[in-house]
Amino acid sequence: MICYVLILEWVFPFLFGRVTNTVTDLEEPIISEEIQADRKHPSRNLLEGVDLNSVEIKLNQFIISKGFKDEELRLPDFAADLGLSTHQASYYLNNYLSQSYTDFLNFHRINEVMIMMKNKSNFNLLTIALECGFNSASSFHRACIKFTGKSPRDLRNYIQLNIGTGNKVEKQLDL
C-alpha cells in the first residue's frame, strides 16, 4: 500500500499538492500596462491627408448658416457637410475643439438662445429652445445648466438685467 501511494505521488504530484515545475526565473519580459494598452489600441490620426483648413472653413460656414438649429441633424449628415466620415468628424471635434458632437451643437444652440432672449424677450422659453434646435425642454435645461451655470429662467432674468447696462453677457458667462 505504501509503495502504491509513493508511485501515485511520483506519477501524479498535483494530487498531493507538490509542485514539480521548479523553474523560478521566467525569461518573459514584463510589459507595463500602458504599453499593453497602446498595443491594443494604437493611436492613429484619422485626419491624415485631410485638408484641415478646408474643414475649418466648412465648419465656420456651418456655424454662420446656423446649421445647428436643425433638430434632426445627426452626425453622419454633419460629417457629410464637412466632407468627412463620421469617425473623422467626431475625431476632429474631440481632438481639435475638445468637444463631443452633442456638446458642439448644444454650445452653439445655447449661444443662439441667448441672442433670441435678448431680441425676443417676450417669447416663451420653450418656443425659443425649439427654434434653436433643441428637441425637448429637458435637453434645453440640461444644456443651459451645463454651458451657463444657470437654469433657463435664471438665464433670461440675467440677460434682461444686463441688456440695459450694455455688458456683454457671453463674456460674463464665459461663453
Give 108-120 pLDDT, tens digit per residue: 999 999 999 998 8
- Residue 168, in any domain of the structure: yes
- Residue 69, in any domain of the structure: yes
Find the farthest-apart pair of alpha carbons in the chain and give their distance in angstroms, rounded.
Answer: 104
pLDDT band at 32 (very low <50, low <70, confident <90, very high): low
- Residue 58, in any domain of the structure: yes
- Residue 27, in any domain of the structure: no
Q: Is the model's pLDDT at 31 over the cut of 90?
A: no
Tell me the pTM: 0.69
Q: Is the model's pLDDT at 37 over the cut of 60?
A: no
Q: Is the model's pLDDT at 14 over the cut of 80?
A: no
pLDDT band at 45 (very low <50, low <70, confident <90, very high): confident
- The boundaries of the domain holding residue 124 are 52-172
- Residue 28, in any domain of the structure: no
- Residue 125, in any domain of the structure: yes
Please indicate whether residue 138 or residue 14 has the higher confidence score (pLDDT). 138
Q: How far are the Cα atoms of 130, 154, 158 from residue 136, in angstroms, in the given order?
A: 7, 18, 22
How many domains are there within the chain?
1
- Residue 12, in any domain of the structure: no
Q: How many CB atoms lie within 10 A of CB 160?
A: 13
Number of H helices, E strands in the chain: 10, 0
Question: 107: domain CATH number?
Answer: 1.10.10.60
**What integer pLDDT is reported at residue 68 of this predicted model?**
94
**What integer pLDDT is reported at residue 46 of this predicted model?**
73
- Residue 93, in any domain of the structure: yes
pLDDT band at 102 (very low <50, low <70, confident <90, very high): very high
